[in-house]
Structures are given as structure tokens and as C-alpha cells.
């Protein structure tokens, strides 16, 4: 079918193509790693800030009180908000939950 010389030439060409494909795959893989490196850094930063978020919430109230006392020494609004804020939020949350669970007047059938 094919002469012996032609088969040897085709085998050499096939081996060259395989080497080129392997090299191209390695280069593509390296380029993908370089291209996604900023995403890896962003993921690490998001994870770090998510770990700090509960501590930031705890530190926000005392820091706000210090700022309020130094910037507005006579203004008592922040102290009032700190004192009455949690009960008001609880009442609002309860009203929202009650409204979400109660049937609406339109859904009643007559």
C-alpha cells in the first residue's frame, strides 16, 4: 500500500506533531495559571475579610462611641441609638415575620 520510506516519513511527522501538541498544551496551561492568579489573590482577600467581619462588627460600636465623644462631645444621639437600637430592630424583625406568616386579605375565599 505505502512504500517503506513513506511510512517512516509519516511516522516522523506524526512524532513531531505530537511533540508540538504536548508543548502547546503545556504553554496553554502555564498561561491559564498566570491569567487566573489575580482571581486567586482576590479569593484569598475575600476569605480574609470574611474572617475579620465578625470582629469588625464587635469593634464598630466602641469605635463609634469614641469617635462620637471626640467629634461631638455634647451630642447624645449615638448613645441613644446604641441603647434603643437593638430593641427597635427586634420589634421590626418581629413585625416583618408576622406580616410574612399572616394570610393576606386578598387570599381569603368567600
110 occurs within a structural domain: no
Lowest mean pLDDT among 3-7, 8-12, 46-50, 51-55: 51-55
Name the grid cell of 39.
Answer: 482571581
Q: Which domain holds residue 34?
A: 4-100
Residue 94 covered by a domain = yes
Find which of 2-6, 17-21, 87-91 is predicted with most confidence, using mean pLDDT. 17-21
108 occurs within a structural domain: no
Closest CA to 40 of 29, 50, 32, 52: 32
pLDDT digits 0-9 by tens, 78-102: 677 777 788 888 888 888 888 778 7
**What is this structure's pTM?**
0.41
Task: For residues 99 and 84, give the distance between their C-alpha atoms in angstroms, rounded to a whole number.
Answer: 23
Amino acid at each position: 500500500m505505502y512504500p517503506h520510506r513513506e511510512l517512516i516519513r509519516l511516522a516522523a511527522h506524526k512524532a513531531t506533531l505530537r511533540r508540538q501538541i504536548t508543548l502547546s498544551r503545556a504553554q496553554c496551561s502555564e498561561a491559564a495559571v498566570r491569567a487566573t492568579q489575580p482571581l486567586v489573590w482576590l479569593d484569598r482577600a475575600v476569605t480574609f475579610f470574611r474572617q475579620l467581619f465578625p470582629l469588625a462588627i464587635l469593634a464598630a460600636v466602641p469605635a463609634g462611641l469614641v469617635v462620637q465623644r471626640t467629634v461631638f462631645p455634647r451630642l447624645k444621639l449615638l448613645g441613644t441609638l446604641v441603647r434603643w437600637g437593638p430593641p427597635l430592630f427586634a420589634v421590626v424583625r418581629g413585625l416583618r415575620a408576622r406580616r410574612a406568616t399572616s394570610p393576606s386579605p386578598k387570599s381569603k375565599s368567600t
